[in-house]
Structure 1
Amino acid sequence: MYSGRWIILLALWFTSVVSSEGVCKRHEVSAALGSSVVLPCNFLSNDSSWVEWTQAKEDGQNVDLVRLSSKGRILYLNPRSGRVKTFPIQASERNYSIVIDELQNSDIGSYYCKQSDECFEVKLSKDGCFKTQEIRSPLGSSVVLPCKFSSNDSSWIKWTQAKEDGQNVDLVRLSSKGRIVYLNPRSGRVKTFPLQASERKYSIVIDELQNSDLGSYYCEDSDECFEVQVKLPVDKDADVSPLRYVFIGLSALLFLSAVVYFIKWFCNNNTQDSTAHPSVEM
């Protein structure tokens, strides 16, 4: 009899767990490192209890960020140096969305917005880089790929080239202490400035630029990302050559028209002169 009761209780517990997990609505959001991202959470019910935002970490240690109430009250549990922000005025409309500013790698992951009878899961992923710069340089030249971070992160910096086939190529790793690990130096054409690393400058140089060097490069640390697009210079002569030919053609046409007009004018004047002064025979 007792075993049957335990089976029933276990079944009820399992059903409640499954149903509570099934209540969670899922949403995916992607943003670039360094940017601001909104994590949406809008409940249907008018529950007046507190709503809690939690980040699920890979190690299983969840991190509680903030608690909100429908009356606009806020209790920050882990504001991440003020980067986590809320919309207390919208709480009365059952909108409990939050904002994470200056997105970092540590912010990437799954977030849960929960109240007593509803759950909202937001999966946050990294999407490209927040800072982008375009560099144009001819083949055979040396090109500098700039990278300067504002944070004082002491972790390693990695330069990567994104290839069109999706197979990224890691070029070099740098540390703020000037240490260098070349992963693909391209026969010595990739060079670094280790003395500038202490100033958070991690620019690199690619000598004797080749077609295979063209494309997008990413300079990343744990908190920031910098994208540099290397392209060939724009051929201005090629762009204006059709207009040049049109201009030359029109000029030649106008010149010929002027010559024809002058010849006709000259002939007409000669005819009029001969008519007005006929020759006298002796």
Structure 2
Amino acid sequence: MTVAVYLPLLLALPLALGARRIAARGTPGPAAWTLVTIAAVAALASTWSLTMLALTALDDLPPLAALDNHPTLELPEPVPGPVALIAGLLLVAGGVRLVIDARRRITTNRRLREVGDPDQELVIADWTTPMAVAVPGTAHTPGRLLVTTGILQLLSAPEREVVLAHERAHLAHRHHRLTATVAAAAAMNPLLIPVRRAVEFLVERWADEDAAADVGDRGLAATTVARAALASSGAGSGTVLGIDGGAAVQRVRALSQPTPAPMLRRLAAPILLGAAIVALAGAATEAFVDLAHAWL
């Protein structure tokens, strides 16, 4: 096996290091799509690399083990046994994390869909906890908005419109699919956890921009995000406009500035990195196929 089989495991690192910078500037939509796509490529490539490394352990099992002692055959030396074992363990750990994350998302969405009338586009729950969330639909039911009386009582009528526009944007752009995809990538390759966080921030910024455009007032949108942050911190909840501490400050600051212009050039580096990952995965696959031909 060549060194190319190890590189896809590490090339997620520069993507993770650059994710925050990419998320900080420009239009959030293209940045979110780019990061999700490259994260998925990196996760698939690293998982495939681990699979190839783990499969080299098969040379210690019959009937391949018998070939190692064959007097007329000289098989290429695969990766060391401990490396193959570690690769297998990492695959299992990634699979467990993936299942846990998927079950958590499915369970949470199912419970939220059980609140109120499933045919209503907007459900108002009589809960004191300040909460506003976009509930994804299913194959048989459309998505809907769930808000609580706790958040409605804290906001003015114009601010409520911002909240509803923000949550509608999540449904319209299917942000739950983007966050689920990048979460799955981070589960399989923990080096991608900063990318997952960047995408979660970007989809909130994306919804912020849509809400500001919908109400026609960036200042009002900024005020609403700030008030929601205070409500969330006071209630110990992060379910109002996706609020999470320091991210709220960045979002308010962004809404206090003019509408961001597209900065597609900053996306060239992650795209090139994705192409490099694919090329390296191809080279590693070719080396593995050569090794498999020698075995068989």
Check whether TM > 0.5: no
TM-score normalised by length of structure 2: 0.20
TM-score normalised by length of structure 1: 0.21
Q: Which has the higher helix share?
A: 2
Q: Which has the higher strand share?
A: 1
User: Relative contact order (C-alpha < 8 Å, sep 6+): which is higher?
Assistant: 2
